[in-house]
Amino acid sequence: MTCPNCGAKNDQDAAFCWQCGQSLAATPADIPATAATSETPTEQTVATNICPNCGTPNEPGENFCLNCGTPLTDAPVKAASSNSVAAPEPVVNTAAAANQVTQSLVSNNQPTAPANTPTPSAQLDNQPMPAASTGKVPPAAAVKPKPNKKGLWAAILLLVLLLGGAGYYFYQNNQPSAKSVATADRSSKKRSSKKSRVSSSKSAKSSQKVTKAAPKKAAQSNEPPAITSLVEPILDRDLSGLAGNTSAYVSRTDSDEEVVRNNREQRAASDIKIFIMITAYEQAKNNQLDLDGKYELSDDDKVGGTGVVQSMPAGTRLTLRECIQYMIDESDNTAANIMIDAVGGLDAVNDEISQLGLTDTQLERKLMDTDALNAGRDNMTSAKDLGVVLKQMYNHQLVSSGYDTEMLNILAKNKNHSKLLADLPAGAKGYNKTGEFSTYGVQNDAAILESSKAALVVVVLSEDGQESTQIQAMNLLGADLYQKLLI
């Protein structure tokens, strides 16, 4: 019999095509009676394909059972034992089931689930069938045909397309937009830049800390070396053995470090004239005093002591700036008294001293006022007060840059270099104002020592001492400090 589906040749009594499983019988009546029974040979390996559904023997190589259409394998199978008898099962209309499966395969080309539910006729006749000649009835199972190969490949292709479409849809809907990618990229760069900056900043700070912590780097930096350890031994050696009271102040002009020895109020002598000069320039800055204004000398202005103005004839006209120069460079007492009156008297000078924050300096009398001196009033200052104002003046931090420079120029022309500046090497420069009061054994010098390298403020006040030893000690101290700190 030729299969109407695939054209394969089948036996005349075959119910289904051995090649594709197509139903060959139009009605259940055409199915041979043997389909309902199976032989039960003894347990041995046989060369036939026994249908696992209806028990019908099939020829080797057949793919589907000739009786019920169930798919077969080419491997030999073992027959059931001759002693075992299959339990009776309800009779199933196999032809109808086969037709149903076949139509489903042809129409949908999809696998069909096995029909395990008996047909209505089988439900009505749900009684055991009489045994065949062998006395054994195999179970009547529902038809479980598999789809043909073409249908299987079509199903696989359809599944692949469905899975591919779903994957593409998922991919498209879960990809970040170009805008979000760009935003994320910018954020990442910002974080990276911030970290770089944070990292670079931390690295720079660490480097600075190492530099600061590194020992013995002062000489290689812009910071001046510490002077205390250098100055103390020099002061001990050069000022030792002096009678009376001696105080000293030493500081580099480019450093906050100071060395102060035995600081106290002492008789200022002519060093008080520095504070009179500062007061005059402060008033000039505030337009309270005209330094170029003329003053006419009278005989009542003249006093003894040091200076040259006392020898000038009465009526001589001097500017106040000239009076200041005489007061400092010649230590002129007459010019000093003229300037005290010009700025407003003792109180005006003391007000300026107070404004400068000085605590040990006071102008108590005019120069050569013996009555005030006999009354116990004298002009007082300290080594530190003098040192502070000289340092501020040198750094142009006292009155103003222009006026500080003018005052330094006046101090540089002072003619008395017999003390701290006496033994400086050639090329050294000094700014100073000395003070002497032999009645009380006073020898003072407030000076700035300058080299091409740096400048040093040195002040020594000594009283109740011997002039020769005092001056000698100051000569030695100036030279030693210059050699040690300025070369």
pLDDT one-digit tens code per residue, 318-344 = 999 999 999 999 999 999 999 999 999
Cα first-last separation, the chain: 131
- For the segment 185-207, the average pLDDT, to the nearest whole number, is 40
Q: Which of 103-107, 379-383, 416-420 has the lowest mean pLDDT?
A: 103-107
Gyration radius of the chain over CA positions: 64
Residues 6+ apart with CB under 8 A from 26: none
pLDDT at 151 over 80: no
Residues 325 and 450 in one domain: yes
- Structure-derived torsion over alpha carbons of residues 451, 455, 461, 462, reported in degrees to the nearest 10: -30
pLDDT at 301 over 90: yes
Beta bridge partners of 445: 434, 460
pLDDT at 208 over 50: no
Residues 429 and 281 in one domain: yes
Residues 266 and 128 in one domain: no
Q: Is the dihedral of CA 79, 81, 87, 91 positive or negative?
A: positive
Output the pLDDT for position 206.
Answer: 37
pLDDT bin (cut points 50, 70, 90) of residue 437 is: very high
Last residue of a domain, one of 109, 126, 148: 148
pLDDT bin (cut points 50, 70, 90) of residue 44 is: very low
Question: Which has more pLDDT, 291 or 31?
Answer: 291
Provide the percentage of residues in the chain whose pLDDT is more than 70.
66
**Domain-embedded: residue 118:** yes
Residues 6+ apart with CB under 8 A from 13: 32, 66
Residues 137 and 235 in one domain: no
Q: Which of 147-156, 202-211, 356-365 has the lowest mean pLDDT?
A: 202-211
C-alpha 370 chain-centroid distance: 71
Output the pLDDT for position 7.
Answer: 78
Coil, helix or strand at residue 50:
strand
pLDDT bin (cut points 50, 70, 90) of residue 169 is: low
Contact yes or no for 232/443 (Cβ under 8 A): no
**Domain-embedded: residue 421:** yes
Give CA–CA dist 454/420, Å, rounded. 17
Q: Are strands 266-267 and 380-381 parallel, antiparallel or unpaired?
A: antiparallel
pLDDT one-digit tens code per residue, 465-481 = 999 999 999 999 999 99
Q: What phi and psi values does residue 409 have, to the nearest 5 degrees?
A: -65, -35
**Domain-embedded: residue 368:** yes
pLDDT at 87 over 60: no
Residues 6+ apart with CB under 8 A from 148: 20, 21, 105
Contact yes or no for 164/172 (Cβ under 8 A): no
Does an H or E element contain 251, and which?
A: strand 245-252
- For the segment 349-359, the average pLDDT, to the nearest whole number, is 98
Residues 139 and 246 in one domain: no
Structural domain harbouring 110: 1-148
Give CA–CA dist 169/321, Å, rounded. 99
Last residue of a domain, one of 119, 148, 177: 148
**Domain-embedded: residue 10:** yes
pLDDT at 207 over 70: no
**Domain-embedded: residue 217:** no
Rounded to 10 deg, the angle between the 401-412 and 273-285 helix axes is 150
Residues 128 and 275 in one domain: no
Question: Which has more pLDDT, 314 or 75?
Answer: 314
Output the pLDDT for position 223.
Answer: 66
Question: Which has more pLDDT, 452 or 105?
Answer: 452
**Domain-embedded: residue 173:** no
Q: Which of 44-58, 83-97, 277-291, 347-361 has the lowest mean pLDDT?
A: 83-97
C-alpha 416 chain-centroid distance: 60
**Domain-embedded: residue 279:** yes
Last residue of a domain, one of 148, 168, 193: 148
Output the pLDDT for position 168.
Answer: 66
Give CA–CA dist 440/46, Å, rounded. 150
pLDDT at 25 over 90: no
pLDDT one-digit tens code per residue, 239-278 = 998 999 999 999 999 999 999 999 999 999 999 999 999 9
pLDDT one-digit tens code per residue, 399-419 = 999 999 999 999 999 999 999
pLDDT bin (cut points 50, 70, 90) of residue 50 is: confident
Residues 143 and 238 in one domain: no
Q: Pick the most confident of 35-49, 206-220, 397-411.
A: 397-411
pLDDT bin (cut points 50, 70, 90) of residue 1 is: low
Residues 359 and 455 in one domain: yes
Residues 144 and 234 in one domain: no
pLDDT at 96 over 70: no
Output the pLDDT for position 102.
Answer: 40
Give CA–CA dist 75/61, Å, rounded. 9
Q: Residue 431 belongs to a domain with what CATH number?
A: 3.40.710.10
Tokens of 266: 């002492």
pLDDT bin (cut points 50, 70, 90) of residue 366 is: very high
Contact yes or no for 408/431 (Cβ under 8 A): yes
* Residue located via tokens 């050569």: 368
Give CA–CA dist 420/443, Å, rounded. 11
Output the pLDDT for position 201.
Answer: 39
Count of domains forming the chain: 2
Question: Which has more pLDDT, 144 or 479?
Answer: 479
Neighbours of 133 (CB within 10 A): 7
